[in-house]
Amino acid sequence: MIEVRNLTKKYGTHEVLKNVNMQFDKGKVYGIVGENGAGKTTLFRCIAGLESFEGEINSDIQPLKNHLGLLLTEPFFFQKITGLEYIRLLCNARDTKIADIESRNIFELPLNQYASIYSTGMKKKLALTAILLQGNDYFILDEPFNGVDIHSNIIITEIIHKLRELNKIVIISSHIFSTLGETCDEIHLLQNGEFVKSVQKENFLELELEMKEITVGNKIEKLGLI
Partner 1 sequence: MINRRFTDSGVEPPLAYVALAIGFIGLSFYLFHKTEFAQYIFVLSALALAGKFSEIRRTEFIKFCFGDKRWKKIRIAENLLIVFPFIIFLVIKLFFLSAIILFALAITLALMNFRASLNFTIPTPFSKQPFEFSTGFRNSFYLIAGAYTATIIAVVVGNFNLAIFSMMLVFAITLSYYTKPEHEYFVWSYSLNPRMFLIKKIKTATLFSSLLTLPIAIIIAIFFYQNIGVLLLFFLVGWAFLVCMIVSKYAAYPAELNIAQGFLIAISIWFPPLLIVLIPYFFFKSQNRLRSLLK
Of 78-86, 157-165, 174-182, 190-198, which part binds partner 1 (CB under 8 A)?
Answer: 78-86
How many Å apart are CA 207 and CA 199, to the nearest integer? 7
* Amino acid, single-letter form, for residue 43: L
List, in order, residues 6 or more apart from 175 with CB less than 8 Å away.
Answer: 33, 143
> In the complex, what is the shortest distance from the CB of residue 169 to partner 1, in angstroms, rounded to a whole number?
18
Note whether 162 binds partner 1 by CB under 8 A: no
Strands (E), the chain: 2-11, 14-24, 28-33, 54-59, 68-71, 138-142, 169-173, 186-191, 194-200
Note whether 155 binds partner 1 by CB under 8 A: no
Tell which one of 15, 25, 35, 85 touches partner 1 (CB under 8 A). Answer: 85
Choose between 116 and 153: whose C-beta lies nearer to partner 1: 116
> In the complex, what is the shortest distance from the CB of residue 148 to partner 1, in angstroms, rounded to a whole number?
20
Note whether 203 binds partner 1 by CB under 8 A: no
Note whether 120 binds partner 1 by CB under 8 A: no
> In the complex, what is the shortest distance from the CB of residue 20 to partner 1, in angstroms, rounded to a whole number?
20
Note whether 72 binds partner 1 by CB under 8 A: yes
Q: 184: closest CA among 172, 167, 196?
A: 172
How many Å apart are CA 177 and CA 84, to the nearest integer? 32
Note whether 88 binds partner 1 by CB under 8 A: yes
Note whether 113 binds partner 1 by CB under 8 A: yes
> In the complex, what is the shortest distance from the CB of residue 106 to partner 1, in angstroms, rounded to a whole number?
21
Tell which one of 12, 13, 14, 95 touches partner 1 (CB under 8 A). Answer: 95
Choose between 35 and 85: whose C-beta lies nearer to partner 1: 85
Query: What's the angle, vertex CA 29, arms to CA 27 and CA 33, rounded to 5?
Result: 160
Note whether 63 binds partner 1 by CB under 8 A: yes
**Cα–Cα distance list, 11 to 21, 25, 39, 44, 46 (Å):** 19, 29, 12, 15, 13
**Cα–Cα distance list, 106 to 9, 103, 109 (Å):** 38, 8, 8
- Cis check: omega of the bond before 144, within 30 degrees of 0: no
Note whether 11 binds partner 1 by CB under 8 A: no
Helix, strand or coil, per DSSP, at residue 47:
helix
Which residues here bind partner 1, judged by CB under 8 A? 48-50, 52, 63, 65-66, 70, 72, 75-76, 78-82, 84-86, 88-90, 92-95, 112-114, 116-117
